[in-house]
Structure 1
Amino acid sequence: MNVTTILFDFDGTLADTLPICIHAIGDSFLKFDGKTLTGSDVVALFGPTEADIIRRHLANREAAEEAVRHFYDIYTREHDRMVRPDSNIVTMLDRLKERGYRLGIVTGKGRDALDISLDRLGMAHYFDTTVSGDEMKRPKPDPEGVLTAMNALGATADGTVFVGDSEADMRAGKGAGVFTIGAHWLANVQTHTFDTTPDLYVTHTEQLLAQLDRWAGRGGAE
């Protein structure tokens, strides 16, 4: 393969943000609905942006926008305490940029939450394009976001790789016709087993880098 473009999911793939997402969404439902959600309950709602999860599922409809503001308040206030940069991810991104790959993010995360995390983690400069849930009409597992990012970068399917941690990511990547990698290299992931088999499964960033080296002729035969 002649890979030029690497697209990543965000939560659970580039940053260990699932705990803060679960915490902030769960606290919003507890405060405004008096409803306790487990982590699995929250993850089962993923697909729409965090704000739209609250808007769609909060029983107390009149308080929905206040609950959304509450979510962002917690997400911003608790981010530095709950989310730390992962040194392996940072090293991987540095090496990918040094090698000239075009990098993008395709996430169901809302634009505001994504920008908060990219800023706090100092990661924004790595990416040539980012597609958030607010920029998609059809969230993952629909391939729309992957195709949107490819179009923004002028990428072809045979030159693009999509990396994610969830079943929705696998289906989105396959639907877009790109080489799809299941990555479980962070402590918290959305999907522990895939129903849709990824083209490659990795548990460490070095495995992705090694595969790219093989494709580029730097590490042996394909």
Structure 2
Amino acid sequence: MPILDTVLFDNDGTLVDTYDLILESFHHAVRNVLGHDIADEKLMAKVGQPLSTQMWDFTDDPAVHEELLLTYREFNHRIHDERVSLFPGVREGLERLREEGFKMGVVTSKMSPLARRGLEVLEVAEFFDCLVGADSCPKHKPDSDPILMGCGLLGATPESCIYVGDSPYDLQASNAAGTLSVAALWGMFDEDALCAENPCLACSDFPGLVDGILALREGCR
């Protein structure tokens, strides 16, 4: 089996805590465009897929769909910098993985400029040698193509790569790509939903994730 030398991460809910930012932005958009509110659970049900895909759950009118997107993005971008934060242990974990020689990148369903902005604001962009966003690839998670693109950009084979994510769509994409899938249990989806996708590893926090990744690599030697 190839030696594991590459880690690709989802962004929101895995590296960066944006739960409140996303939920607040959804509420703002649906209240202002649709004139009524929608329950949190429905608003957050498809987080992990591109925002455009998620908005079709709230309307089948193309014009309303576009207005929802514009309203969400204007509000989200305006409050973004003060609402984003790293999950505990992320910076230290990334430093440890870099010291251990891992190549690292981000594969997200977020548009790449805003994903990159968040990583820069939180001062961790330096750890990543590629970023694949919703605007980088014609297909999106749960399709395997974004993860395979990330592997290609880092010169890695899927068999030598781990993908870490907090949504079922992340794990489905990773399994389809042939990378080792790891569930981030600290994110936006519950443990049962993630473990149903049969990840090779499920971790409750970022320090435990790093320990698990190093153990997986040791087991492949």
**Consecutive unaligned residues in structure 1, runs of 5 or more:** none
The alpha-carbon distance between structure 1 residues 37 and 77, as it changes in their structure 2 partners (threshold 3 A), is same
Deviation at 1:35, TM superposition (A): 2.9
- The whole-number CA distance in structure 2 between the counterparts of 1:48 and 1:212 is 25
The alpha-carbon distance between structure 1 residues 64 and 157, as it changes in their structure 2 partners (threshold 3 A), is closer
Deviation at 1:180, TM superposition (A): 0.8
Deviation at 1:58, TM superposition (A): 4.3
Letter in 2 for 1:190: F
Aligned to 2:189: 190
- Does residue 6 (structure 1) correspond to residue 7 (structure 2)? The answer is yes
Q: Does structure 1 retain, via aligned residues, the 8 Å contact 2:15–2:86? A: no
SS in 2 for 1:208: helix
Aligned to 1:170: 171
Aligned to 2:130: 129
Aligned to 2:50: 49
SS in 2 for 1:134: coil
Provide the aligned length of Structure 1 versus Structure 2.
Answer: 218
The alpha-carbon distance between structure 1 residues 221 and 196, as it changes in their structure 2 partners (threshold 3 A), is closer
Aligned alpha-carbon RMSD (Å): 2.5
- The whole-number CA distance in structure 2 between the counterparts of 1:112 and 1:162 is 21
SS in 2 for 1:133: coil
- The whole-number CA distance in structure 2 between the counterparts of 1:122 and 1:111 is 16
- The whole-number CA distance in structure 1 between the counterparts of 2:116 and 2:70 is 16
Aligned to 2:210: 209
Q: Does structure 1 retain, via aligned residues, the 8 Å contact 2:25–2:75? A: yes
**Greater shift in the superposed pair: 92-101 or 2-11:** 92-101
- The whole-number CA distance in structure 2 between the counterparts of 1:32 and 1:141 is 28
- The whole-number CA distance in structure 1 between the counterparts of 2:107 and 2:211 is 23
TM-score, structure 2 as length reference: 0.86
Deviation at 1:183, TM superposition (A): 1.2
Deviation at 1:103, TM superposition (A): 0.5
Percent identical among aligned pairs is 26
Q: Does structure 2 retain, via aligned residues, the 8 Å contact 1:76–1:116? A: no
Aligned to 2:139: 138
